[in-house]
C-alpha cells in the first residue's frame, strides 16, 4: 500500500501546484500572453535575428555561409554605391516625409471643416492609398516616360516647352520624381490619420477660444497643434519608417537608375542579395538601415512620454 500511496501523493502535490499556479493572476496573465509572444517571436523576432545573422555571414544564394563578423560592413563602408544609396534614402525620406506631413495636415484640417460632399472628398483622398503600390508606380513610370510623358506632352502642346522633360534620365530629376511619387502615395495615410486625431479634439475648447477672441492661427497654435501632437508623433514615425524602407515604387519606376541615383538601401539590398546572389551582403545593407529606423522610433517614443511636449511645450 505504501508503495502505491507515495506516487499518488506526489501527483496530488504536483496537481495542487499546477492548480495553484493557475490561481495566480500573474501566471495566468503570462499564460494568456504565450500565443501572442509565440507569434511575435516566430514572425517578427526570428526573421530579424536571421537577418542579423545573415549580415554577419558570407552566405550566397543556395549556399551555407560562414560567420565573417563585421566584414560585410567593412566592405560596405568602402563601397561608393552603398554610400550613395544611404544619401538617396535620407534625401528621399526627409523630403517626402516633410511634404507628406504638410499636405496631409492641410487636407486633414480641410476635411475637418463643414464641406459639401465631405464623404466623397474623403474617399477621393484615400484613393492613392487604396491603389496597389505597383500599379501607382507603373502609372508614374508612364507619367515620367522620356517619350510618352503626359506632363511633357501637355506642356509642349501649351507652347511652354520645346523638349520632353527627362524626368528619370537625369540623376536629380529622377530623385525628385520618385519623391513626388512617394508623396502622392503617402499623403492619404497622413491626412486620414490626422483627421481622426482632429476629431477627438473637443469642440468646447474652440468655443472657449472663440469667446476669448482667439484668431484662427492662435487656435491652431494653442489648441490644435498641442492636442494633435501625440497623433502627429505616431503618424510621422510610421510615415518615416515606411518611406525609409520603400522598395516597390523605386524598383518599378527606376530600378535604382540612372547611375544608381535613386537606389535606396532597400532596393540595393535586394539587388545585391537576390539579383547578385550575395545574401550576406544584402542582409548587411538591410541591417545598416536599423540604426536610422531605431532613431526614428526613439524620437517618437520619447516624444510621446513627454507630457509637456504633447501639450505643445518645448520640453
Q: Does 163 bind other proteins (CB under 8 A)?
A: yes
DSSP 169: T
Work out how close the CB of 141 gets to other proteins at its nearest, in angstroms, rounded to a whole number: 8
Specify the 3-state DSSP secondary structure of 129: helix
Distance CA 49, CA 33 (A): 21
Give least dist CB 305 to other proteins, A.
41
* Least distance in angstroms from the C-beta of 311 to other proteins: 48
Q: DSSP letter for 278, please.
A: B
Smallest distance from the beta carbon of 146 to other proteins, in angstroms? 2
* Residues in region 278-297 near other proteins by CB under 8 A: 278-279
Cell of 62: 543556395
Binding mask 235-254 for other proteins (x = CB under 8 A): -------------------x
Contact 222, 210 (CB under 8 A): no
According to CB under 8 A, which one of 148, 218, 290, 302 is a site residue for other proteins?
Answer: 148
Determine which residue in the list 51, 121, 128, 170 makes contact with other proteins, applying CB under 8 A. 170
Closest listed residue to residue 99, CA positions, set 240, 296, 301, 251: 240
Instruction: For the CB of residue 258, give the shortest distance to other proteins in the complex, in Å.
Output: 4
- Residue whose C-alpha is closest to residue 169's, from 80, 253, 271: 253
Nearest residue (CB) to other proteins, 67 versus 148 = 148
Selected binder of other proteins within 276, 293, 297, 299 (CB under 8 A): 276
**Footprint of other proteins on residues 38-97 (CB under 8 A)?**
58, 60-63, 75, 79-81
Q: CA 168, CA 172: separation in Å to the nearest integer?
A: 9
Local structure of residue 34 (DSSP, 8 states): H
Q: From the list 51, 128, 226, 277, which residue makes contact with other proteins (rule: CB under 8 A)?
A: 277
Q: In the chain, what's the furthest Cα-to-Cα distance?
A: 108
Nearer to other proteins, 274 or 298 (CB): 274
CA atoms within a 13 Å half-sphere pointing along the CA-CB vector of 77: 5
- Closest separation between CB of residue 181 and other proteins, Å? 14
Integer Cα distance of 178 and 250 in angstroms: 7
Instruction: Map residues 187-226 to x or -, x wherever contact with other proteins holds by CB under 8 A.
Output: ----------------------------------------
Q: Which one of residues 73, 94, 103, 145 is an interface residue with other proteins (CB under 8 A)? A: 145
Q: What is d(CA 169, CA 73) in angstroms, rounded to the nearest whole number?
A: 31
How far is residue 112 from each of residues 116, 199, 231, 233, 312, measured CA to CA in Å?
Answer: 12, 7, 15, 19, 21
Give 100 or 272: the residue with its C-beta nearer to other proteins: 272
Q: Which is nearer to other proteins, 229 or 260 (CB)?
A: 260
CB 57 within 8 A of CB 63: no
Q: Is 247 helix (H, G, I), strand (E, B) or coil?
A: coil
Least distance (Å) from other proteins to the CB of residue 133?
16
Q: Would you count residue 313 as binding other proteins (CB under 8 A)?
A: no
Q: What are the CA-CA distances from residue 58 to residues 51, 71, 76, 106, 272 (Å)?
A: 12, 9, 13, 48, 12
When asked if residue 175 is in the footprint of other proteins (CB under 8 A), the reply is: no
The residues binding other proteins (CB under 8 A) are 58, 60-63, 75, 79-81, 144-148, 163-164, 166-171, 174, 254-260, 271-272, 274-279
Amino acid at each position: 500500500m505504501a508503495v502505491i500511496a507515495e506516487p499518488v501523493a506526489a501527483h496530488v502535490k504536483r496537481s495542487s501546484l499546477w492548480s495553484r499556479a493557475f490561481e495566480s493572476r500573474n501566471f495566468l496573465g503570462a499564460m494568456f500572453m504565450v500565443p501572442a509572444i509565440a507569434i511575435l517571436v516566430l514572425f517578427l523576432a526570428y526573421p530579424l535575428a536571421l537577418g542579423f545573422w545573415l549580415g554577419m555571414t558570407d552566405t550566397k544564394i543556395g549556399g551555407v555561409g560562414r560567420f565573417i563578423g563585421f566584414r560585410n560592413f567593412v566592405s560596405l563602408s568602402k563601397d561608393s554605391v552603398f554610400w550613395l544609396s544611404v544619401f538617396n534614402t535620407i534625401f528621399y525620406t526627409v523630403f517626402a516625409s516633410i511634404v507628406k506631413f504638410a499636405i496631409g495636415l492641410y487636407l486633414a484640417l480641410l476635411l475637418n471643416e463643414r464641406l459639401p460632399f465631405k464623404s466623397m472628398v474623403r474617399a477621393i483622398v484615400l484613393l492613392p492609398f487604396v491603389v496597389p503600390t505597383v500599379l501607382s508606380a507603373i502609372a508614374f513610370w508612364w507619367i515620367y516616360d522620356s517619350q510618352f510623358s503626359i506632363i511633357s506632352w501637355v506642356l509642349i502642346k501649351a507652347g511652354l516647352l520645346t523638349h520632353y522633360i527627362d524626368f528619370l534620365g537625369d540623376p536629380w530629376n529622377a530623385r525628385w520624381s520618385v519623391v513626388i511619387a512617394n508623396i502622392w502615395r503617402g499623403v492619404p495615410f497622413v491626412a486620414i490619420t490626422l483627421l481622426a486625431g482632429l476629431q477627438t479634439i473637443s469642440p468646447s475648447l474652440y468655443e472657449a477660444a472663440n469667446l476669448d477672441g482667439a484668431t484662427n492661427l492662435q487656435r491652431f497654435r494653442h489648441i490644435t497643434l498641442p492636442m494633435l501632437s501625440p497623433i502627429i508623433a505616431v503618424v510621422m514615425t510610421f510615415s518615416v519608417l515606411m518611406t525609409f524602407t520603400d522598395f516597390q515604387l523605386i524598383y518599378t519606376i527606376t530600378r535604382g537608375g540612372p547611375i544608381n541615383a535613386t537606389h535606396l538601401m532597400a532596393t540595393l539590398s535586394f539587388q545585391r542579395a537576390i539579383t547578385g546572389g550575395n545574401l550576406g551582403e544584402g542582409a548587411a545593407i538591410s541591417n545598416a538601415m536599423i540604426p536610422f529606423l531605431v532613431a526614428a522610433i526613439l524620437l517618437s517614443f520619447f516624444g510621446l512620454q513627454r507630457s509637456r511636449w504633447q501639450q505643445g511645450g518645448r520640453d
